[in-house]
Amino acid sequence: MTLNLIKLCVGCESLEDMMQHVARVKARRAASGLPDEYVHTTRMTPKRSADLLAGGSLYWVIRGNIQCRQRLLEIRPVTDANGVGRCELALETVLVPTYWQPKRAFQGWRYLKGNETPKDLAGGEPGLSAVPPELRLELAELGLL
Residue 139 has pLDDT above 90, yes or no: no
- Give residue-wise pLDDT tens across range 10-30: 988 888 899 999 999 999 988
The model's pTM is 0.84
Q: What is the pLDDT of residue 81?
A: 87
Q: What is the pLDDT of residue 76?
A: 93
Q: What is the pLDDT of residue 128?
A: 62
- Give residue-wise pLDDT tens across range 72-119: 999 999 998 889 999 999 999 999 999 888 899 888 899 999 888 999
Most confident range (mean pLDDT) of 1-5, 88-92, 139-143 is: 88-92
Query: Is the sign of the CA dihedral 12, 18, 23, 26 positive or negative?
Result: positive
Radius of gyration (C-alpha) of the chain in whole angstroms: 16
Residue 126 has pLDDT above 60, yes or no: no
Three-class DSSP category at 119:
coil
C-alpha–C-alpha distance, residues 107 and 24, integer Å: 26
Residue 2 has pLDDT above 60, yes or no: yes
C-alpha–C-alpha distance, residues 76 and 68, integer Å: 22
Asked if residues 6 and 58 have their Cβ atoms less than 8 Å apart, the reply is: yes
Cα 11–57–12 angle (5° rounding)? 10
Q: What is the pLDDT of residue 51?
A: 92
- Give residue-wise pLDDT tens across range 25-57: 999 988 999 888 899 999 999 999 999 999 999
